[in-house]
Structure 1
Amino acid sequence: MNRRQFIVGSTAAIVALRAGTALAKSKMLAGENTEIALWKGVPPGGGGPTGDEELSAKGALSNITRPSLKVYRPDNPNGQAVLVAAGGGYKRMEMGQEAWPAAEWLKNLGYTAYVLTYRLPDEGWNDGNLVSLQDAQRALRIVRSREKHVSVLGFSAGGHLLGMAAVRSDFQSYPEQDALDRTRAYADRAALIYPVITLEKPYTHTSTHKILVGPHASDAENAQWSVQNFVTPKTPSMFLVQAEDDPISNPQNTLIMAAACEREHVPVDMHRYSSGGHGFGMGKPGTPTVEWPHRYKEWLGSV
Structure 2
Amino acid sequence: MKLLRRHLLGLVLAAGGLAFGRPAAAEAFSAGERQAAPPPDPDETIRLWPRGAPGGEGVRLTPIVPERSTDPAFHDRYAQYTEDPMLTVFRPARPNGSALLLIPGGGYRWAVLDKEGYDVARVFAATGTTCFVLRYRLPADGWAAGPDAPLQDAQRAMRLIRSRADVYGVDPARIGVLGASAGGHLAGLLSARRDETYPAIDAEDAVSLRPDLTVLMYPVATMADPHAHQGSRTHLLGQAPAADQIRAYSLEAMDWRDAAPVFLLHAMNDLAVPVENSLQLLSTLKAAAVPTEAHLFQEGGHGFGVRLIQGRPAQVWPALVRAWAGRLNVPL
Please tell me the TM-score bracket, short chain as reference: 0.7 to 0.9
Per-residue CA deviation, residues 125-180 of structure 1 (Å, 9 max, x unaligned), is: 23321110000000010011123120000000000001100111x21111222222
- After TM superposition, which residue ranges in structure 1, 4 or more long, deviate above 6 angstroms? 22-25
Distance in 2 of aligned mates of 1:48 and 1:203: 33
Q: Which has the higher helix share?
A: 1
The aligned counterpart of 2:62 is 51
Q: Report deviation, 1:122.
A: 1.8
Q: Choose which of 146, 150, 156 in structure 2 pairs with 1:128.
A: 146
Secondary structure at the aligned position of 2:151 is classed as helix
Distance in 2 of aligned mates of 1:267 and 1:80: 19
Q: Aligned letter for 2:67?
A: S
Q: Report deviation, 1:218.
A: 1.8
Q: What is the percent sequence identity of the aligned residues? A: 34
Secondary structure at the aligned position of 1:54 is classed as coil
TM-score normalized with structure 1 length? 0.88
Please say if residues 54 and 61 of structure 1, whose CA atoms lie closer than 8 Å, have aligned partners that are also in contact.
yes
Change in 2 beyond 3 A, CA 1:115/1:243: same
Q: Aligned letter for 1:54?
A: V
The answer as to 2:320 corresponding to 1:295 is yes
The answer as to 2:45 corresponding to 1:41 is no
The answer as to 2:233 corresponding to 1:209 is yes
Distance in 2 of aligned mates of 1:49 and 1:96: 26
Secondary structure at the aligned position of 2:157 is classed as helix
Distance in 2 of aligned mates of 1:134 and 1:118: 9
Per-residue CA deviation, residues 47-94 of structure 1 (Å, 9 max, x unaligned), is: 434334322232122121210011111121000000001000011111
The aligned counterpart of 1:142 is 160
Change in 2 beyond 3 A, CA 1:80/1:25: farther
Aligned length: 286
TM alignment of 1:36-185, pairs within 5 A = 36-46=46-56, 47-57=58-68, 58-147=76-165, 148=172, 149-168=174-193, 170-185=194-209
Q: Report deviation, 1:219.
A: 1.6
Please say if residues 206 and 249 of structure 1, whose CA atoms lie closer than 8 Å, have aligned partners that are also in contact.
no
**More moved, 19-28 vs 198-207:** 19-28
Distance in 2 of aligned mates of 1:127 and 1:109: 37
Change in 2 beyond 3 A, CA 1:166/1:78: same
Distance in 2 of aligned mates of 1:219 and 1:19: 45
Q: Report deviation, 1:18.
A: 2.9
Distance in 2 of aligned mates of 1:42 and 1:205: 31
Q: Report deviation, 1:41.
A: 1.0
Secondary structure at the aligned position of 1:176 is classed as coil
Q: Choose which of 206, 212, 227 in structure 1 pairs with 2:251.
A: 227
Per-residue CA deviation, residues 260-285 of structure 1 (Å, 9 max, x unaligned), is: 11101111110000110000002543
In structure 2, the gaps of 5 or more residues are: 1-23, 69-75, 166-171
Please say if residues 25 and 307 of structure 2, whose CA atoms lie closer than 8 Å, have aligned partners that are also in contact.
no
Q: Report deviation, 1:200.
A: 1.9
Please say if residues 63 and 80 of structure 2, whose CA atoms lie closer than 8 Å, have aligned partners that are also in contact.
no
Distance in 2 of aligned mates of 1:228 and 1:26: 38
Q: Aligned letter for 1:161?
A: L
User: What is the CA RMSD across the aligned residues, in angstroms?
Assistant: 2.1
Distance in 2 of aligned mates of 1:106 and 1:27: 15
Distance in 2 of aligned mates of 1:279 and 1:19: 18
Q: Report deviation, 1:287.
A: 4.6
The aligned counterpart of 1:10 is none
The aligned counterpart of 2:3 is none
**More moved, 261-270 vs 196-205:** 196-205
Q: Report deviation, 1:43.
A: 0.6
Distance in 2 of aligned mates of 1:206 and 1:49: 26
